[in-house]
Amino acid sequence: MKSSDGKTFEVSEDVALESQTIKHMIKKNSGSDNEIVVLNVKSKILAKVIEYSKKHVEARWEAEFVKVDRKVKKRVDDLKAWDAEFMKQVDQDTLNDLLLAANYLNIKELLDFTCPAIVDARRRDTLFVFLILFVSLMFFFVLC
């Protein structure tokens, strides 16, 4: 895959097929060895998308080999912990770009993951702004 700013990424077919958009591109260009250019997604964001997709593909592979309930639950918990850590590494601008990339690439899991994260971030921002306004008004009234 090649990002819109020209950086090339080598990914397995399973990871690439996480994206319905890429899946359709591959189907449309079947038989050709052309690299897939991912328009609208810069290399920094495409690297994050690939990292997320790769981890989720690996988790599915592991789940197929492990059928004992406790181990599957532990792996799901491990994936949730990994997802939470992944989000800690992402700033607000990157999160917004990830949402746009997930939408453009049609990666449902990533889209389902980024939407609530953006809502939570906006909620925190709104609360923070409200708190600043409240403290400012209180300070204003104390001075008057």
70-81: per-residue pLDDT in tens? Answer: 555 666 678 888
Q: Which CATH number fits domain 13-113: 3.40.50.2000, 1.10.600.10, 3.30.710.10, 3.40.50.300?
A: 3.30.710.10
pTM: 0.77
Name the residue among 78, 86, 81, 74 with its Cα closest to residue 49.
86
| 33-37, 71-75, 90-94, 102-106: segment of lowest average pLDDT | 71-75
Report yes or no: 117 and 87 within 8 Å, Cβ to Cβ.
yes
Tens digits of per-residue pLDDT, 5-48?
Answer: 999 999 999 999 999 999 998 888 775 567 888 988 999 999 99
| Predicted confidence band of residue 141 (pLDDT cuts 50, 70, 90) | low
